[in-house]
Amino acid sequence: MKKESRKKVKDTVDLPLVHPNAAGIDIGDTIHAVAVPEGRDKVCVKSFGTMTSDLKSIAAWLSDCKIDTVAMESTGIYWKPLFNLLIKEGFEVSLVNAKYARNVSGRKNDEDDARWIQKLHSCGLLKSSYLPEDEQESLRTLVRYRKTLTMDCNRFILRMQKALEMMNIKLHTVIRDITGKTGIAIIEAIIDGERIPENFLKYVDKNIRADRDTIVKSLEGNWRNEQLYLLQDCHCNYIHYKQRIDACDIAIENQLKQFYRESISPKTLPASHKPTKRPTKNKPKFNTGQYFRSILGVDVTAIFGISDISALEILSETGTDMSKWESSKHFVSWLNLCPNHKISGGKLISSMLMRKKPNPASQAFRNAANAVQRSDNWLGDYFRRMKAKGGNKYAMVATANKIATIYYKMVSQQVEFSPLELNAYQQKYRQAKIAFLERKLNDLKKEAA
């Protein structure tokens, strides 16, 4: 008997019980499997539906079982209704990545998954994902929806361009943007029935660089009825989406005012804080600069490459509290803008980026990095140097890492952006390279001696 008891002790591993009142939930579209510690009820694992009444039943059962904290997998968007309800009922809810709660191999079902999540959470082995607050979640939803509307609007621009190309109307090769003042005026004239190329010249703006003869030649084509219909329909949808984007901008501005509990008037904008960058095509209709200054305390649009819409996307994704990340390195790691070092046996076996889709904040920083590659500043010089070293993707990630680090320090330390001069930055890089080569030369001399 003593030998058997000793053997059992050796074959088991005791883990500390961090959360004794922990529950685990396996999320699904039609069924939620909920597991509680043994002894809290006759059945420790139950399956519930996903209707609102079922979610209330889950909260009531967890309360009867004296549960304090709950862990659930992030499955699509099915977790959000239950998550919000449990938070409202006073439970501590952790949303965990399914990769970290992966079960051992064998037969798989929802009840076993829920029981496994409950065991891991009770031992403190699961870490909650980053989750925004309720007001920030509302702002993030609106900003993401605006981005979707913009992408849909751009699709109809491409279809209008295709319809013109099918009729051999080369307008898009003459002017830079067919949705500008001149392009829209000519398209609307075509829809109204104008077919003589010379009659379109009155719609050409004085800022168009192309000469009149080239414009007339580009508007000579074969007017096909089906393509004219597609042009008219796509133009109508384009106008509709532009109106929806304007309406979404109003909702975003109202959410900003509600989020920070203050109504900001354009008259309160400091005189020294004037837009220093040329406005982009997709810029929101309201003055974003005053909101960034009042909300974040600094002007993040002063960073090279950060546009108004990029700053708005980053704000909606990260919020104002940078203390959620311990340092700038943790911040860029969350953005997946740094190498994923894998060390085994004391050796680095891999340092590639994690293969996952960039979140909207990471994509905004990558777009900012891509925007500075031809700029005449130190970030542009850094991008070109990294591109020569490892290619365009390598340079984009490296420069986005720099921009994200600057953003983190500006917001967390409340300091303004003070860029280096290009000549000073290049001189500093040359000195560092000379010092590196001198150290290498000294090492070679020591080896030769």
Q: Say yes or no: 212 and 332 in one domain.
A: no
pLDDT tens-digit series, residues 33-49: 999 999 898 899 999 99
> Residue 31, Cα to own-chain centre: how many angstroms?
30
Percentage of the residues of the chain whose pLDDT score is greater than 90: 61
376/324 same-domain check: yes
pLDDT digits over 172-220, tens only?
889 988 999 999 999 999 999 999 999 999 999 888 888 889 999 999 9
Residue 106 has a pLDDT of: 62
Number of structural domains, the chain?
Answer: 3
Which among 222, 240, 259 is the end of a domain? 259
Asked if the structure places residue 31 within a domain, the reply is yes
Q: Indicate whether 269 belongs to any domain.
A: no
- Same domain for 164 and 246? yes
pTM here is 0.83
Question: Looking at the domain assignment, is residue 10 inside a domain?
Answer: no
- Which of 298, 164, 300, 180 has its CA nearest to residue 232? 164
- For 39, the domain range is 15-122
Residue 53 contacts residue 67 (beta carbons within 8 Å):
no
CATH code, 215: 1.10.287.4070
User: Is 445 within the bounds of a domain?
Assistant: no
Within 8 A by CB and 6+ apart from 93, the residues are: 69, 70, 71, 72, 83, 86, 87
Same domain, residue pair 298 and 223: no
Q: Answer yes or no: is pLDDT of 449 > 80.
A: no
- Has residue 408 got a pLDDT over 70? yes
